[in-house]
Structure 1
Amino acid sequence: MSELCHQAGDARGMEDLMVDYYVDRPFFDELVGLFHERTLAETRAALEGGVEWIFANCYYNSLSAGWSPAIFREVFVPHLRAQVELVHRYGARLDYYDDGKLDASMELIADCGVDVLETCTPPPVGDLDLRRAKARIGAQTTLKGYVDLLWVVKHGTPELVERTVAEAMEIAKPGGGFIIGSSDCFREGTPPENMHSYFQACLNYGVYD
């Protein structure tokens, strides 16, 4: 997890943290820094225990949570870079999770050296254009996700689900570096026929030769 997810973001509250950034910056820096050090300590302990993949749950850091790209660059990029460098020193890999808007932050995240970036959520929930993302950061990091769990899989049709998976693979599969997936975990009430269509389409279109 990140310094915010289930840490500073819950200990203080996201709205209060955002106000703190402007009205009490020393407190903001101290609190976020405290949980950043805790994140590094937890990451190090996992790596020393032999973990090979670190899942960095960072949706509280997302632009969708309310942070501006400028604050993201100033505050969270250095912390992410430090975590990635730690992970790579142990020969492990880091999967960065943000199920919100990524268009304005994906290059900053990729430049930190993350190995996987998910969930690549398209509009209307997110704002990621898969073709543009593949062109901009596809050579740096593996992209994962894309299929909208709500408007495609839950409220769509089997035909829409299959078409979405096929289109995603057509765009992002060439050259490797893409893992088909959903924009988050599937929700209760999703039609079984849509789930079947999703997994069958993943098998049909998502396998690399």
Structure 2
Amino acid sequence: MNSKERVMSALNGAQPDRRPYTPCIDNYTRSGLPEPYRSMDIINVQKAFGADMVRGPWCYKEQYDSTIRIEEKRVNGSIITRYLTPVGTLQKTETFTKESPNIPFPAEHLIKTAEDLETFNYLTEHTSCVPDYKELEDALKKNSNIVVATGIMSTAFEDMLAHHSGVEKFVYLYYDHTALIEETMAILKQKREREAAITAQGPAEVIICYENTNTANSSPEWIKQFEIPMLNDYARIMHDHGKKLLVHMCGHINMVVDQIAAALFDGIVDVAPPPTGDCDLPAAVRTLGAQGKVLTGGIECTMFAHLKPDALVSEVRSLVSSIPDTRCFFLGSGDAVPQGTSVENLNAIKALIEKPF
């Protein structure tokens, strides 16, 4: 089997010739690699280190209508963005660091008050998303023997909780202004589902939702009430177009594994054991596998960064021996392979996965 056949066979319930390998090697990983990898296209970096499924371009872009004005300025390493609308102004501040050159830290969230929710609703309703398949189509043509997955944003619930308001403010707003924040999530959900529909109509066979489900910043009850139903709606959209939906869950999920197993999506990716996550991997694979789902991940990211190659290989052998199921468990990284991971470590796992063990 080639890489694409291997991954798609497993996702369709058949036995692959060997365990698929699907690490999350992204721009964060690449920023810590030496040349020639640092200058390579990110898909080629993933392929160079043996990935059977790579993360490719997304296939939609946002557009604001003429009533929205955006101002952006850089101050001391931070980006301050202001959204000016006829009903109010929103501002957020994001800070990039040397250690995280691609994903910024939120220094100021967009939503701080109930009035901001009203402004955010206007902003969402006056933002459209348009298809842009060209880059993804080119990537698929160049890489016909490998799965090139595309992505979609997290659900409206997770987006509000983690990105737009932050956990503390979300909790206060939810209990002080329940109807308003639920209206905001409903409006944002409609936008997210339009993005999902555009993606489902595109050329990728596998879509990854970058959800970051995590009981460390949410609760099992909220995940049951809001997040799983929204993910199920994503899954229905994808399945209506014959696509597979995988959900990125690198955080604490042990308390909600049964909820995940009962959901409609096809599996979860980049799953992490402690300390990044809390997943009991063998138990989770059994629970998800009983429902036909796959789980990918398992190699704790600190191991990638800090162990010597022989020690890393030993840990991975131990992990794989505890989960013999080669259809439901794809070996991969627990969250993104971190900046600072050596070429030697990446090549050691590539060599290991390519031969029976």
Is TM-score (shorter-chain normalized) higher than 0.5?
yes
> Is 1:16 the equivalent of 2:193?
no
Counterpart AA for 1:197: A
Show the counterpart of 1:144. Answer: 296
Higher relative contact order (CA 8 A, sep 6+): 2
Question: Match of 1:88, SS?
Answer: helix
Query: Could you say which residue in structure 2 is the equivalent of 1:32?
Result: 185
Residue from 44, 63, 74 that aligns with 2:215: 63
Give the structure-2-normalised TM-score. 0.53
> Is 1:107 paired with 2:258?
yes
User: Residue 245 of structure 2: SS of its match in structure 1?
Assistant: strand
CA contact (8 A) 1:153 1:198 kept: no
Paired with 1:25 and 1:205, the residues of 2 have a C-alpha distance of 54
Contact preservation (8 Å) 1:63, 1:69: yes
1:88-136, Cα deviation, whole Å (9 max, x unpaired): 1111110100111111122212211221212221112211111111222
* CA drift at 1:205: 4.8
Q: Which amino acid aligns with 1:109?
A: I
Partner of 2:332: 181
Q: Provide the rounded CA distance (Å) in 2 between the counterparts of 1:155 and 1:175.
A: 27
Q: Secondary structure in 2 aligned to 1:181? A: strand
Normalized per residue, which structure has more strand? 2
Q: Verify: 1:192 aligned to 2:353, yes or no.
A: no
- Which residue of 216, 223, 228 maps to 1:77? 228
Q: How many residues align?
A: 203
Q: Please, which moves more after superposition, 166-175 or 74-83?
A: 166-175
Structure 2 portions without partners, runs of 5+: 1-152
CA apart distance, 1:198: 2.2
Could you tell me whether the CA contact under 8 Å between 2:249 and 2:269 is conserved in 1? Answer: yes
Quick one: distance in 2 between partners of 1:72 and 1:5?
9
Contact 2:272/2:300, CA 8 A, preserved across alignment = yes
CA contact (8 A) 1:119 1:183 kept: yes
Question: Percent identity at matched positions?
Answer: 23
Distance 1:22 1:161, change over 3 A: same
Q: Distance in 1 between matches of 2:284 and 2:223?
A: 19
Report the AA paired with residue 183 of structure 1: G
SS in 2 for 1:190: coil
Q: What residue in structure 2 maps to residue 54 of structure 1?
A: 207
Structure 1 residue runs of 4+, over 4 Å off? 4-7
Unaligned runs of 5+ in 1: none
2:318 to 155, 167, 175: 167
Tell me if the contact between 1:69 and 1:105 (Cα under 8 Å) persists in the aligned partners: yes
SS at match of 1:122: coil
Match of 1:2 in 2: 154
**1:5 and 1:58 in contact (8 A); partners too:** no
In structure 1, what is the Cα distance between the partners aligned to 2:326 and 2:297? 17
In the TM superposition, what is the alpha-carbon distance from 1:187 to its structure 2 partner?
2.2
- Can you list the C-alpha shifts for 1:149-172, whole angstroms capped at 9, x where unaligned? 11x111122223112222232233
* Secondary structure of 1:105 counterpart: helix
- Please say if 1:88 is aligned against 2:248: no
| Contact 2:271–2:335 under 8 Å retained in 1 | no
Q: Over alpha carbons, which structure has the higher Rg?
A: 2
Amino acid at match of 1:39: R
Whether the 8 Å contact between 2:228 and 2:260 is mirrored in structure 1 is: yes
